[in-house]
Structure 1
């Protein structure tokens, strides 16, 4: 960790050295997204409930971001982004969530040297998980998001949050289709750190990613959690008539005797139809032992404009680890608006 932060300091110094005598030019942007649906929703092991569901396709958020031109190709950047629940107006994703839980960072960016961000940063694993599946970051309908980030009867496959506080994120410039990222969160008070690295490849209609993550502390509570090490591979190809996605994730819990491993596989597709697209996804969570979870989702997302879409989706979620209500069935209709 000392070496990483030392190198981060050198990267910051190198970026600052490129500034020269700059004439500052800055911009600040207000933006966000509101998503709300209604329908019948059910989690495995629980009864169904007819209700308003915030974030059917995307968790609602708002934010401010800015950029100042420092000259010589160097810019200062910042972002402060918070989640909120559109059905009640409450801030955060849940009670006790930080006000700017999505992102809160400041940094320097250079087209030739890359970008360094200090503060709270969205994890590389979360970004790869939502980009390489057809349902994006839907905690309601995306099989892979539910399997990787939601708690289960045995254990949450991945410990830690989707954003890390007290972190440093470096993203390299794109070179020959490749882009690398490194993220580290300092141990600080509890003395445990989180680290992650990722490599993306984008050329034409093909895109792929490989991500590694090691979690030792829960950033939201600053407490030590199970040490989980995660590998994820993802790929997508746009054939025009259909865009296909595939992911494979392996999670090793090193805090449990024998270091049990869970394996998660997901395939999905987005098929253009009219002014929208049909979405289909299947996910399989193989836990240690025989209690698997199988999730299938189907939906249609129709765009009324570039910023507003309406959607309908249904999901069957079978979890063999549950004693009752083993198979959960959910469906809903919703609207999503970007500003």
Structure 2
């Protein structure tokens, strides 16, 4: 998801912010311009049979800029909006993997939003995985099969998030197909819940997508899956079900977490040619830990076992993050993946290896504004 940071865009963003702020003080309005830049470099031992050295963008968080605002409507109610656009620091390429929505919120009744949004997997399950926490993009489960790294957002969606009831929250989302006479073609819906009590936290979510990628204007784009020859293909999916549960417990400066998810795709076809592909189901089992060793230094690690219909993957990863200030930090990480015979080893953000193993060692810097 991205933006071409040309002068016209910058001037437009500045005009919106300045104009809104100038009329907003009396109405108790607020608008914030914010964002993040994440860039670095990586060594990968096997990409198509060769070692690769490359610059990176977004190994933890995808680089983006955003506008967020709210207007107080009285009685604990507010109107709100959020608009983000992502881009590659190294190439300038634009991406569409950040939210854009408008809605209404209430302290007593929760929040309703409409637009291009994260689903319940992201909101209630992903935080218990390292990819959905401080680990970030490269720590995704193979092919991000459960969307814990929010590789795809729901278009045409309406979403509800509840307030907290003694530590219990819940929510749901429905994404429309936007197709005349094709109500079920490329629609999606999800629900989730979370419970937090002191050091303990737990959550669960379920996502159903019908006709994913079948139409160009529906809820979701096609799904990237391993093809018959081990290569990656863009696939449409007639029915996709994803469920995930996770929990964490904080022991002083150490937080331990576990997560399980299962994603089942049936009625799979090549999105370009229409050729039928085998149905596939993934189960992911993750254990991870984060240690705040020093106020400015955090260490994290994970192990994930992923089992699919005819293949499996072992993934191990570690990360160190040092915070120079509230806005700037540096990180270093190493990830190793071993696949079963005939399956591609492919750490997220990389192209597949030519064999069963892939190792990535990377470092980068992030700056928030």
Distance 2:191 2:119 in 1: 10
Query: Does the 8 Å CA contact 2:170/2:193 hold for their aligned counterparts?
Result: yes
The aligned residue for residue 299 of structure 2 is 278
What SS does the aligned partner of 2:59 have?
coil
Distance 2:63 2:125 in 1: 18
User: Within the alignment, does 1:287 sit opposite 2:282 as a pair?
Assistant: no
Aligned in 2, Cα 1:140/1:76: closer, same or farther, shift over 3 Å?
closer
User: Within the alignment, does 1:83 sit opposite 2:86 as a pair?
Assistant: yes
* Aligned counterpart for 1:171 among listed residues 151, 161, 173: 161
The aligned residue for residue 354 of structure 2 is 324
The aligned residue for residue 56 of structure 1 is 59
Query: Does the 8 Å CA contact 1:55/1:138 hold for their aligned counterparts?
Result: no
What SS does the aligned partner of 1:214 have?
strand
Deviation at 1:165, TM superposition (A): 0.9
- Point out the more displaced range, 51-60 or 219-228: 219-228
Distance 2:98 2:364 in 1: 22
Aligned in 2, Cα 1:56/1:276: closer, same or farther, shift over 3 Å?
same
Q: Deviations over 1:142-174 (max 9, x none)?
A: 1xx23262xxxxxx5669952111000100111
The aligned residue for residue 114 of structure 1 is 110
**Unpaired segments of 5 or more residues in structure 2?**
1-25, 223-235, 269-276, 345-352
What SS does the aligned partner of 1:89 have?
coil
The aligned residue for residue 321 of structure 2 is 301
Deviation at 1:276, TM superposition (A): 0.8
Distance 1:131 1:266 in 2: 12
* Aligned counterpart for 1:245 among listed residues 239, 257, 268: 257
Distance 2:46 2:119 in 1: 25
Q: Deviations over 1:20-58 (max 9, x none)?
A: xxx832110011111111120367765331011111111
Deviation at 1:129, TM superposition (A): 5.0
User: Within the alignment, does 1:221 sit opposite 2:216 as a pair?
Assistant: yes
The aligned residue for residue 188 of structure 2 is 194
Deviation at 1:235, TM superposition (A): 1.0
Structure 1 segment 21-100 matched on structure 2, within 5 A: 24-41=27-44, 47-92=50-95, 98=96
Deviation at 1:294, TM superposition (A): 0.8
TM-score by length of 2: 0.75
Deviation at 1:205, TM superposition (A): 1.5
The aligned residue for residue 12 of structure 1 is none
Query: Does the 8 Å CA contact 2:129/2:257 hold for their aligned counterparts?
Result: yes
How many positions carry a matched residue from both structures? 301
Across the aligned residues of Structure 1 and Structure 2, the Cα RMSD in angstroms comes to: 2.6
Aligned in 2, Cα 1:307/1:199: closer, same or farther, shift over 3 Å?
same
The aligned residue for residue 138 of structure 2 is 141
Aligned in 2, Cα 1:45/1:157: closer, same or farther, shift over 3 Å?
farther
Aligned in 2, Cα 1:337/1:296: closer, same or farther, shift over 3 Å?
same
**Unpaired segments of 5 or more residues in structure 1?**
1-22, 93-97, 150-155
- Point out the more displaced range, 40-49 or 266-275: 40-49
The aligned residue for residue 313 of structure 1 is 333
Query: Does the 8 Å CA contact 1:35/1:336 hold for their aligned counterparts?
Result: yes
TM-score by length of 1: 0.81
Aligned in 2, Cα 1:138/1:148: closer, same or farther, shift over 3 Å?
farther
Deviation at 1:121, TM superposition (A): 0.8
The aligned residue for residue 267 of structure 1 is 287
Query: Does the 8 Å CA contact 2:141/2:284 hold for their aligned counterparts?
Result: no
